[in-house]
Amino acid sequence: MFGFILGTSEGRKILSLINKYTDDIAVTTATSYGGQLLKEFRIKNLNTKPLNKEEMINWIKCNEINILVDASHPYAQEVTKTALECANELNIKYVRYERQGALEDISGEDIIRVKNYDEAINIIKNIEGNILNTTGGNNVSKFLNLDFEYRVIHRILPSPSVLAKIVEAGIKLKDIIALQGPISYELEKAFIKQYNVKAVLTKDSGIEGGVLEKLKAVRHSKIKLIVIEKPRFNYDLEFNDEEKLVKFLVKHKL
């Protein structure tokens, strides 16, 4: 059986393509919302909760998965690390679908690249003005109690659980924007103007993640774009195209 770890919008296309050949597939997503988006597809087993290593090993064994396709979000570092370890321990084939970044070949003095949140925060502390954080709600605690004279505004998904989590962490309601993407260039400009933003913090989540619209708005507004770069892993099998991925799977399994 094929096992798919899905965490990006490309997951729907991957499933639509593989369903032309088989429904002998198991899928795991990190959220029930992610699972709801896949209801139209033929899936024998669908898990909609995050899996730790032990749980992922059980999921693989219970579904008799022998090819594991990791199409998790490019910044879901722990998920990919766990998937690689599980595949190695169970001696099954691991295949990575990696969404390509949109900023990898773009340079400029207005783009500041950092490896992690700690480096980003060191940059932020030296910027005179408000910051728009568009990297989600999982790391907001890192922005609390900063020696920073200005505001950090956090743009998150309009999920009650995410909103509750970051408010409980100590983020003020006035510093939260809850909005489902994709965000247009015009709206990005409006946020920058409305909140008097001097830098936007982002991940390079590819064209689908709207990062080019952010860059365009940043350049129009003559401010900075701080980019947390993608974690790097070494993969034996990596695809960046959904159709090529499915052709490989069909050739090696069916």
Per-domain boundaries in the chain: 2-100+231-253, 111-228
Distance CA 100, CA 45 (A): 28
* Total-model pTM: 0.84
Q: Are 85 and 53 in contact (CB under 8 A)?
A: yes
pLDDT digits (tens, 9 = 90+) for 195-206: 999 999 999 988
> What pLDDT is stored for residue 23 in this prediction?
93
For 59, phi and psi rounded to 5 degrees? -60, -45
Q: Which residues of the chain have pLDDT under 70?
A: 254
> What pLDDT is stored for residue 254 in this prediction?
55
CATH of 2-100+231-253 given 3.40.50.720, 2.40.128.690, 3.40.50.300, 3.40.50.1260: 3.40.50.720
Q: Are 105 and 16 in contact (CB under 8 A)?
A: no
Distance CA 201, CA 134 (A): 6
- Homologous superfamily of 111-228 in CATH? NAD(P)-binding Rossmann-like Domain (3.40.50.720)
Sheet holding 111-114, edge to edge: 111-114, 224-228, 197-203, 130-133, 152-156, 176-178
2-100+231-253 and 111-228 share one CATH topology? yes
Strand-pair category, 176-178 with 25-28: unpaired
State which H helix or E strand residue 141 sits in.
Answer: none
What's the first-to-final CA gap in the chain, in angstroms?
10
